[in-house]
Amino acid sequence: MNKNPMGQKRRVCVIGAGTAGLCALKNSLESGMDAVAYERGTEIGGTWIFSEDMPENDYDEVHSSMYDGLRTNLPKEVMGYPDYAYDNDIEDSFITSHEVLNFLRSYAEHFKLGPHIKLQHEVIRVRPRLDDWEVYVWDHTTNTCDPVYYDFVYVCNGHYTEPDVPEVEGADLYEGKLMHSHLYRRADKFRDENVLIIGAGPSGMDITNHVRREAKHVYLSHHLATAPNTAFMGNVTQKPDVERLTKNGAVFKDGSSESFDHVLFCTGYKYTFPCLSTDVGIQVIDNFVQPLWKHCININNPTMAFIGLLFNVIPTHIFDMQVRFTLAFFTGQREMPPREQMIAELEKEIGQRWDCGFYNRKKAHQMGERQFDYYNELARMAGIDNIKPVILKLMKDCGKKYIFELDTYRSNRYTIVDDENFLKNGKMAN
């Protein structure tokens, strides 16, 4: 299947050259496909590129949400690819965005991906034809746009670019400053201000910890069942959800009110696929991308796969696994199930999620505890290597630390001993 009936190699189009796109490209090439990754930016790395330059036109839209001083919320020991790990020369486990970017560059260099990556090439339209895909690529270096044809498409355009800002009553009355974490770059912008941060996910918690060092006072509004540990942050007060914004502050659900200068929404992002035409057959409803088989294969056009939609997972490892899973079908090593079976499996999974009450459409791609069954299923169905037990154990050790051990957990150092075991701060962990 990696050759067409005329004996030519199958052609793979990868949209984006971030963590997901790079491994889609590498694995496709290794499967004997003729693969190209189109990257609209001037360099590879996606999310991990830190830039303070703000856009002047549409093309230069801000892609990365990276900010100054970020250290990863997962240790580098689980952030490598299964066949390419971080160098042990970096002592810390929780590393800077620059170190992640360097790692991605070294991955691309190691697997000689450079000649297969087209920088400043933006995919602006993808549409299915009878037997293949028509992909329009805008070359920003020549300002030309041509159609190119592919057998398979990997959508790896990233999901931390389009802010999800909730509608809040009174927003039109509020006269202070507003920002979404997508455009947050430095804490000193909030110097001596009173700041309301909305949302206590990984970004909300981390940004609170940065901003509170410069701000006069931070109010952290969230609806987590268990309050995060903000005890070490003297100038942070936790608040429930915002009931409504006022001219210079907010009234909260518990009836209390506060005044502040700046609101910072850390309320997440939306999945968007602006380059996919409607006949691709994919809809995003309340952040639920559907219909997808196993959260990656487009059921309506199963020669297209989406890599990395899942959250609360081990990102790099699951990207690589989803790519290997889909390639097992794209190369014909495994037979793609019929459409009815894929739909039935999707409905079953979604039914289970709805039934347990915790999941709604917005959480349709959230994994958490479900991730381990998912990994087993992909490995079994496609006959591919599973994620090593040591990576899963290490991941479990890191769970929720950004909420309850925010001030201390990044000083932990991990060392992988073998496929099963790791050391934590020099001691064998279990």
- Only one of the segments 38-46, 344-352, 394-402, 407-415 lies at the binding site for ligand FAD (rule: CB under 6 A); that segment is 38-46
Residue 167, strand partner residues:
none
Q: How many angstroms separate the Cα of 100 from the Cα of each of 104, 367, 386, 409?
A: 6, 23, 23, 19
The residue count for binding ligand FAD (CB under 6 A) is: 30
Q: Which stretch binds ligand FAD (CB under 6 A): 62-70, 229-237, 360-368, 373-381?
A: 62-70
User: Is 184 an interacting residue with respect to ligand FAD (CB under 6 A)?
Assistant: no
Q: Which of 10, 11, 12, 19 binds ligand FAD (CB under 6 A)?
A: 19
Measured distance CA(345)–CA(341) in Å, rounded:
6
Q: Does 208 bind ligand FAD (CB under 6 A)?
A: no
Cβ proximity to ligand FAD: between 19 and 371 the closer is: 19
Does position 95 interact with ligand FAD (CB under 6 A)? The reply is: no
What residue has token string 């409803």? 285
Q: Which is nearer to ligand FAD, 203 or 290 (CB)?
A: 203
Structure tokens at 377: 């299923």
Sheet holding 292-293, edge to edge: 117-119, 34-39, 11-15, 152-155, 304-306, 297-298, 292-293
Considering Cα of 77, then 79, then 81, then 85, what sign does the dihedral take? negative
| Interacting span for ligand FAD (CB under 6 A) from 9-17, 185-193, 279-287, 289-297 | 9-17
**Per the omega criterion (within 30 degrees of 0), is the bond before 75 cis?**
no
Output b/e per residue, 393-402; b: 16+ Cβ within 10 A: bbbebbeebb
- Asked if 80 is part of the footprint of ligand FAD (rule: CB under 6 A), the reply reads no
Cβ distance to ligand FAD smaller for residue 73 or 238: 73
Residue selected from 2, 27, 29, 38 as contacting ligand FAD according to rule CB under 6 A: 38
Distances in whole angstroms, Cα of residue 105 to Cα of each of 17, 46, 93: 11, 11, 19
The nearer residue to ligand FAD, 73 or 248, going by C-beta atoms, is 73
- Segment 228 to 287, residues that bind ligand FAD, using CB under 6 A: 275
Dihedral of CA atoms 398, 404, 407, 413 in degrees, nearest 10, equals -20
The stretch among 145-153, 156-164, 239-247, 251-259 that binds ligand FAD (CB under 6 A) is: 156-164
33, 35, 74, 296: which one contacts ligand FAD (CB under 6 A)? 74
| Residue 308 engages ligand FAD in binding (rule: CB under 6 A) | yes
**CA–CA distances in Å: residue 312 to residues 94, 294, 400:** 17, 16, 10
Q: Does 158 bind ligand FAD (CB under 6 A)?
A: yes
Least Cβ distance, residue 2 to ligand FAD (angstroms): 23
User: For residue 362, what are the contacts with CB-CB under 8 A and spacing of at least 6?
Assistant: 286, 287, 288
Residues near 180 by beta carbon (within 8 Å), at least 6 away in sequence? 163, 165, 264, 265, 266, 267
- What is the gyration radius of the CA atoms in the chain, in angstroms? 22
Stretch that binds ligand FAD, among 26-34, 63-71, 215-223, 232-240 (CB under 6 A): 63-71
The yes or no reply on residue 163 touching ligand FAD (CB under 6 A) is no
Interaction between residue 367 and ligand FAD (CB under 6 A): no
In the complex, the residues that contact ligand FAD under the rule CB under 6 A are: 15-21, 38-41, 46-47, 63, 65-66, 72-74, 79, 122-123, 156-158, 160, 203, 275, 308, 315
